[in-house]
Amino acid sequence: MFGYRLARREKPLPGGQLVAFLVGLTGALIVGAILLIATGFSPIEIYIEMADSAFGSRQAWSSTLTQAVPLGLAGLAVAVAGSMGLWNIGAEGQIIAGAIAGAWVARLGPDLPGPLLIVIMLVAAVVGGGLLALGPALARAHLGVNEIITTLMLNEIAIRMVRYLVNGPWQDPTAVGFPVAPVLPEQAALPVLFNRANIGVLIAAVVLLVFGVFASRSKWGFELRVAGSSAKAAEYIGISLKAKIMTVLILSGSIAGLAGGIRLNSSDRIVEGISEGWGFAGIIVAALALMRPSGVAAVAIAFGALRVGGTAIQTQGVSASISDIIQALVLMGALAAAVFTTYQITRVGSGGQAEDNSAPDVSATGPATIEAGQ
């Protein structure tokens, strides 16, 4: 008897990352078109409206980039950890921690000059996000505790912390109605680039570019990939797994914290829903980018456009759920396509042996598993 199984290719297909995303996007648009037709709308008109609202003008681009900034930084945070085979599921909480730290600085120095206050607030946000990731990093590196559980649990703590602050010690005594935090100092706002976009776009672009180059061309990035693919190989060439785990998880949390700082400095006050689900959306962005920092920016812009377009088409009576469904279908389709850029279907003979056994490849598209306690 003969059967079939998936076997890793000797080398991933060229351009697999881009191909996987385009395949997922195409499939999602086709299924989305069917849903639109079923609900009485013209897919062509709706898709044109979505594209125009996301890319058709300077105002549209500013809205898309405003959404892409936190998505890109959250996706980068997850991807940095994923490059070593670790899963940071706590970007949502780390964004909140960064915003809390930034708001705390604003309360301590409300009269500081604008440039200085902005810099200190963003640095505090980076530190805040990193501190929230410190516990999971220590537990993973020294006790072998799964970082998925610890980072996920800390999300709830961060959510409840900002709720406590806004409804308790940071509550604005002059507010009427529901509790809110005081307005941030006017000089804490990030300078505007054009329309709604501020210099947070440039900050995010620089961070993404630096990490993209650093991860692909530096010794540090190479060591992360080796440690993520094989703990024994990493130990053999003298890489300290404990040090790398600590560095990567704290760095991942710091990047997410920066997203929270930029979000805070782009608004007038800290609120309970300051993260707006960007941390969880960042997991999708990183997954679609195959955990590669080089692809995070493009995916973040695409998802930012979907968010903006999904909001715009509501004015025509289309449910916002259509946009959410399309995003989910893009993820499913792209991940399915990514499987076949890295694996191939091989025929298995009656003896259970594949007729085409491919050699293992350490350049996996997704996180590997690091042995507990290493």
Using DSSP, state whether 277 is helix, strand or coil: coil
Calculate mean pLDDT across residues 97-125: 95
Calculate mean pLDDT across residues 281-291: 85
pLDDT higher than 90, residue 289? no
Our measurement of the distance from residue 234's CA atom to the centroid of its chain's CA atoms, rounded to an integer in Å, reads: 27
Q: What is the pLDDT of residues 326-354, one digit of tens each?
A: 777 877 777 777 777 777 778 776 555 55
CA atoms within 13 A on the CB side of 48: 5
CA distances from 168 to 100, 164, 292 (A): 14, 6, 41
Cα gap 159→87, rounded to integer Å = 20
CA distances from 10 to 50, 76, 216, 344, 354 (A): 40, 27, 20, 10, 14
Structure-block tokens of residue 77:
């945070």
pLDDT higher than 70, residue 9? yes
Cα gap 98→127, rounded to integer Å = 7
Model's pTM, two decimal places? 0.85
Calculate the average pLDDT of the chain. 85
Contact indicator for 361, 11 with CB cutoff of 8 Å: yes
User: Would you place residue 39 in the very low, low, confident or very high pLDDT band (cuts 50, 70, 90)?
Assistant: confident
CA distances from 228 to 37, 84, 243, 306 (A): 45, 4, 13, 32
User: Which strand (E) or helix (H) includes residue 294?
Assistant: helix 293-312
CA distances from 367 to 81, 87, 191, 225, 319 (A): 9, 8, 37, 9, 35
The residue ranges of every structural domain in the chain are 65-212+244-293
pLDDT higher than 80, residue 363? no
pLDDT higher than 80, residue 243? yes
Cα gap 120→101, rounded to integer Å = 10
pLDDT higher than 90, residue 314? no
Instruction: Indicate the burial class of 133 (C-beta count within 10 angstroms; 0-12, 13-18, 19 or more).
Output: buried
Structure-block tokens of residue 351:
């003896």
Residue with tokens 């903006």: 308
**Cβ count within 10 A of residue 34:** 11
